[in-house]
Structure 1
């Protein structure tokens, strides 16, 4: 496959913001951002100041969860990780410290992100990158190299999905993924919590992400839990919970951040009726 460089793709997209570059800016990394991204992120931070901390908490949750999943699964698949940061370890570093050589697949629907990840990590042992929409997870084996695809049907897999607030209908995503995961596989999700947002905050988020080509979908913690249960996952305690920002190396899930939900779940040996 002839991959364009991230700079080539970015040059095509630099006239409008993207959700990945907005998130990077909110985390404090402006190296991937252009004027429209900075403008959009600054509007969001003015409207909802805690978004900056929420995005940092999201990255911290993902890294901590990857470390945990590396102890109980045979490979890790993450969708929507976004641009890596020099301020924190990346997922393959974290997993390989626990399980050397463990396959790690970075999937993203933004081709600029995928090109950048491929350039940075494509030669690392056990690392795979691919451009795929989250709905493409229903065809997950086709997105992975042969050995990793074979592992899906043989060994527990860890999957991390970030930014599900930008997915309109969770049901086909979660159910489509579930059919490829064997018992004991683990799933982690991050989702902005809208239970306590004002209508103004939700409206601003919806408008900004619309300019970035994404559809922001308000969803409560109860709705997120219900979607996971419908798809046949068993939620780990305490279920969808708000997260407090933490340092990336901290492996404990600290509760208390009102804007970001994190939840982990397990594929059971038998789906409950």
Structure 2
């Protein structure tokens, strides 16, 4: 990196660092904390929502490794590592599983490199790239050397597509990645929505924008389009806490406290 301060983008909020702060982490800056606090003031359920997102990622990883036999994963928008991370979840099932992480924040990059060096199982790698430029991910040495394109890959898009504001662009970049995955691959995604609390979440979106970060909410119909051409796994696209919960008590969370749809689908 040429200039640490400039590259760290401490003048604008970043989704990964906001997420880190809400979950109790320390790898964030004043602008990230300000965005998080402003969002929580208008929507106090934000920590509940973010924990539900993390829990879905864990369930999705275990499901793909255990029930679908997936042994390699591409996690785009991984965020600042919060244990257990995806590779730790899937290595409990398949110790030889391979995982490629990607994100576009220098703090995530620094943590990921340290994390990869401590990983004693399977193959893990990190690509410093933006979802908006999928070719950078797919053409990277880390992707080519770590994942076998002839075998199914689990594509994880957890809380990331809402950072692309235009629907057509978001759908296109996801489709470009899915198109290169082999048959039998899976896509697991969480997609931000304001269907259940539109007025409160309009204020959350405003708080994000005021601190320099994009946040795009999508309807149920648009969320379904991210899985177009794929075979959805039961129960389909639902609020993320309703996707095969480990604890039935999680279903007692008010719908207005969860602002993401989730789904897992198989590529024919």
TM-score bracket, normalised by the shorter chain, equals 0.7 to 0.9
Asked if residue 222 in structure 1 is aligned to residue 221 in structure 2, the reply is yes
Judged with a 3 Å threshold, the aligned counterparts in structure 2 of structure 1 residues 245 and 26 are, in CA distance, closer, same or farther, namely farther
Contact 2:39 2:208 in 1 (8 A): no
For residue 121 of structure 1, the aligned residue among 91, 116, 124 is 116
Per the alignment, residue 157 of structure 1 pairs with 153
CA distance in 1, matches of 2:35, 2:242: 22
For residue 103 of structure 1, the aligned residue among 95, 98, 101 is 98
Contact 1:17 1:211 in 2 (8 A): no
For residue 71 of structure 2, the aligned residue among 70, 74, 80 is 74
CA displacement at 1:253 relative to structure 2: 11
Deviates more, 1:236-245 or 1:184-193: 236-245
For residue 27 of structure 2, the aligned residue among 23, 28, 32 is 32
CA distance in 2, matches of 1:253, 1:185: 31
Asked if residue 261 in structure 1 is aligned to residue 261 in structure 2, the reply is yes
Contact 1:73 1:158 in 2 (8 A): yes
Alpha-carbon displacement from aligned partner over 1:68-104 (angstroms, at most 9, x marks no partner):
222321301111121122xx41211111121112111
Contact 2:188 2:263 in 1 (8 A): yes
Per the alignment, residue 204 of structure 1 pairs with 203
Judged with a 3 Å threshold, the aligned counterparts in structure 2 of structure 1 residues 12 and 136 are, in CA distance, closer, same or farther, namely closer
Q: Which runs of 5+ in 1 are unaligned?
A: 269-273
Secondary structure of 2:241 counterpart: coil
Per the alignment, residue 271 of structure 1 pairs with none
Secondary structure of 2:234 counterpart: coil
CA distance in 2, matches of 1:174, 1:253: 33
Per the alignment, residue 41 of structure 2 pairs with 46
TM-score if structure 1 supplies the norm length? 0.82
Judged with a 3 Å threshold, the aligned counterparts in structure 2 of structure 1 residues 219 and 83 are, in CA distance, closer, same or farther, namely same
For residue 131 of structure 1, the aligned residue among 128, 133, 140 is 128
TM-score if structure 2 supplies the norm length? 0.83
- Aligned pair count reads 254
Q: Which runs of 5+ in 2 are unaligned?
A: none
